[in-house]
Every structure is written in structure tokens, then in C-alpha cells.
Amino acid sequence: MDNVAAVLGGLCLVLFLLWVLSLRRIAGLRDALEDELSRQKSLSTTYGRITEQWFPLMDAYPYDPQGFRFLGSPIDGVQFEEDRIVFVEFKANRSQLSATQRRLKRLIDEGHVYWEEFRFRDD
């Protein structure tokens, strides 16, 4: 009976050690996955920034690229046409507007866009 208890105790110890090692391995894999997801998101962001620089020169861009002025932030740019001015934001794949961009879009859609002129003199 003592041998059975010793074998069962040893088996429990081995199973416990395997469980602890498995938890450590899972934690390591989780960290590696988070690192990879972060790297992919960073690459996606970089791809988006590169694409937005070139998009006005692509055939898919519906306006004359000569009239485009790049801003970069909070929107990508402004397109100047003969009959209108268009605020432009380029998005790739599944990217979404940021909270700031959604707010700016709403302000533009509601007509809260104004012209102001300031003059500075050397007096």
C-alpha cells in the first residue's frame, strides 16, 4: 500500500510539474503572440502612412493630384478644386477614422467651416 501511495504521490508531483511548465509555456506563447500582433499593427500603420503619401498619384484617386496638399494630421490633406474644397482622409483595408477625425468630419458635414484672414504688419 505504501508503494501505491508513493507512486501516486510521485505521479501527482510529475503532473503538477508538467502543469506548471505548461503554464509557463503558454505565458511565453501569449507574450510572443502579443509581440507579433504589435509588430503587425506597427507594419500596418507604416504601410498606411506610406500609402497615404502616394494615393493622390494613383489612378484610383478621382481628382487632379496637382490640387492636393498633404497635411498628414489630423487629416491626410486638402484637395482644391475649381468649385469646391475637399478634406481628404485615406484609409487602407479595415482602418477606421480616429475619434478626432470623426469629430472633424461631423463639423465639416454640419457646415462649421470658416474663412478667416489675418494681416500682420511690420509697424
Structure confidence by residue, pLDDT tens digits, 76-118: 999 999 999 999 998 877 889 999 999 999 999 999 999 999 9
CB 88 within 8 A of CB 79: yes
Confidence band for 4, pLDDT divided at 50, 70 and 90: confident
Mean pLDDT of the residues in the chain: 89
E strand or H helix that includes residue 78: strand 77-80
Cell numbers for 29, please give them: 506563447
Residues 6+ apart with CB under 8 A from 44: 92, 93, 95
User: 55-68: per-residue pLDDT in tens?
Assistant: 898 898 999 999 99
Is residue 45 scored above 80 in pLDDT?
no
